[in-house]
Amino acid sequence: MANPTGYPELDALLPRLDAIPSLEVDALASELIAVLGRKNGALTEALKSVASLPMDQRKGYGAAVNGLKASFEAAFAARRESLDTDRQRQEAAGVDLTMPARRRWVGSEHPVTRVVDEIVEIFRGIGFTVAVGPEVETDWYNFTALNFPEDHPAMDMHDTLYVDAPPVAGEQGGRLLLRTHTSPVQIRAMLESAPPVRVIIPGLVYRNDPFDASHAPAFSQIEGLAVDEGISFVDLKATLIHFAHRFFSSSTKVRFRPSFFPFTEPSAEMDVECQLCHGSGCPACKGTGWMEILGCGMVHPAVFEHSGIDAERYTGWAFGMGPHRIAMLRYGVPDIRLLYEGDMRFLEQFVPGGRRGSGARPERSEGAAGQG
Ligand code: DAH
Question: Domains, the chain, ranges and CATH?
Answer: 8-92 (no CATH), 111-133+182-350 (3.30.930.10)
Ligand 1 atom nearest to 186, measured from its CA: 12
Instruction: Check: CB of residue 276 under 8 Å from CB of residue 248.
Output: no
Distance CA 265, CA 285 (A): 27
For 87, residues 6+ apart whose C-beta sits below 8 A from its C-beta are 97
Q: How far is the CA of 140 from the centre of ligand 1 (A)?
A: 16
Q: How confident is the model at residue 154 (pLDDT cuts 50, 70, 90)?
A: confident
Ligand 1 atom nearest to 370, measured from its CA: 14
pLDDT single digits (tens) 46-105: 999 998 999 999 999 999 999 999 999 999 999 999 999 988 888 888 888 788 888 777
Instruction: Check: CB of residue 268 under 8 Å from CB of residue 256.
Output: yes
* Residue from 181, 197, 209, 270 to probe ligand 1 pocket by mutation (most atoms less than 8 Å from CB): 181
Distance CA 35, CA 349 (A): 49
Instruction: Check: CB of residue 132 under 8 Å from CB of residue 185.
Output: yes
Distance CA 350, CA 353 (A): 8
Helices 42-50 and 55-92 pack at an angle, to 10 degrees, of 160
For 73, residues 6+ apart whose C-beta sits below 8 A from its C-beta are 36
3-state secondary structure of 290: strand
**Side-chain-side CA neighbours of residue 52 (13 Å):** 5
State the Rg of the chain over Cα.
Answer: 36
Q: How far is the CA of 181 from the centre of ligand 1 (A)?
A: 7
Ligand 1 atom nearest to 205, measured from its CA: 4
Largest Cα separation within the chain, whole Å, is 116
pLDDT single digits (tens) 182-208: 999 999 999 999 999 999 999 999 999
- Residue 209 identity (one-letter amino acid): D
Ligand 1 atom nearest to 299, measured from its CA: 13
Instruction: Check: CB of residue 337 under 8 Å from CB of residue 325.
Output: no
Instruction: Note the pLDDT of residue 213.
Output: 87
Let me know the angle formed at the C-alpha of 53 by 47 and 58, rounded to the nearest 5 degrees.
70
How many residues belong to the chain?
372
Q: What integer is the mean pLDDT of 291-300?
A: 96
Q: How confident is the model at residue 358 (pLDDT cuts 50, 70, 90)?
A: very low
Instruction: Note the pLDDT of residue 367.
Output: 57
Distance CA 330, CA 209 (A): 23
For 229, residues 6+ apart whose C-beta sits below 8 A from its C-beta are 195, 313, 314, 315
Q: How far is the CA of 295 from the centre of ligand 1 (A)?
A: 5
Ligand 1 atom nearest to 297, measured from its CA: 13
Distance CA 278, CA 272 (A): 9
* Residue from 183, 225, 239 to probe ligand 1 pocket by mutation (most atoms less than 8 Å from CB): 183
Q: How far is the CA of 269 from the centre of ligand 1 (A)?
A: 9
Asked whether 320 lines ligand 1 (CB < 6 A), one says yes
The model scores a pTM over 0.75? no
Distance CA 36, CA 76 (A): 10
Ligand 1 atom nearest to 320, measured from its CA: 8
Q: How far is the CA of 319 from the centre of ligand 1 (A)?
A: 5
Q: Which pairing describes strands 129-130 and 197-206: parallel, antiparallel, or unpaired? A: parallel
Residue 37 burial (CB < 10 Å; 0-12/13-18/19+)? middle
Asked whether 142 lines ligand 1 (CB < 6 A), one says no
Q: How confident is the model at residue 370 (pLDDT cuts 50, 70, 90)?
A: low
Minimum CA distance residue for ligand 1 atom 8: 320
Instruction: Note the pLDDT of residue 204.
Output: 97
Q: How confident is the model at residue 284 (pLDDT cuts 50, 70, 90)?
A: confident
- Most confident range (mean pLDDT) of 101-115, 144-158, 256-270 is 256-270
Report the chain's mean pLDDT, rounded to a whole number. Answer: 90
